Amino acid sequence: MADSMDSPTTKLAYFDDMWQLKSRASFISMVADGERLAVIVDSTILYPQGGGQPADIGFIYDLDERLKFRVQDVRSRNGVVFHYGYFDSPLSEQSTFQKGQEVILSVDEHRRGLNSRLHSAGHLLDVCMHNIGLASLESGKGHHFPDGAFVEYKGKIPADDLERKREALEKEAKRLVSIGGKVSAAIVPYESAAALCGGELPEYIPKDTTPRIVMLGDNLGCPCGGTHVADISDIGIIKVSQIRVRKGLTKVSYTIGP
Residues in contact with Zn ion by CB under 5 A are: 224, 226
Our CB check for Zn ion shows the closer of 18 and 67 to be 18
**Closest chain position to Zn ion (CB):** 224
CB of 228 to Zn ion, least distance (A): 8
Q: Would you call 46 helix, strand, or coil by DSSP?
A: coil
Whole-number minimum distance, CB 214 to Zn ion, in Å? 6
Least Å distance, CB 51 to Zn ion, is 6
**Choice between 224 and 232, CB closer to Zn ion:** 224
If you ran DSSP here, which 8-state letter would residue 137 be given? S
Least distance to Zn ion, CB of residue 152, Å: 13
Inter-CA distances, 252 with 140, 218, 227, 239, Å: 11, 23, 21, 10
Asked whether the beta carbons of 254 and 121 are under 8 A apart, the reply is: yes
Q: At closest approach, how far in Å is the CB of 170 from Zn ion?
A: 20
Query: Among residues 38 and 169, whose Cβ is nearest to Zn ion?
Result: 169
Residue number, 54 or 226, with CB nearest to Zn ion: 226
Beta bridge partners, 153, equal 139, 250
SS3 141: strand
Measured CA to CA, the distance from residue 195 to residue 186 in angstroms comes to 13
Task: For residues 86 and 189, give the distance between their C-alpha atoms in angstroms, rounded to a whole number.
Answer: 40
Hey, is 190 helix, strand or coil? helix
10 vs 115 by CB, closer to Zn ion: 115
CA distance 154 to 177: 25
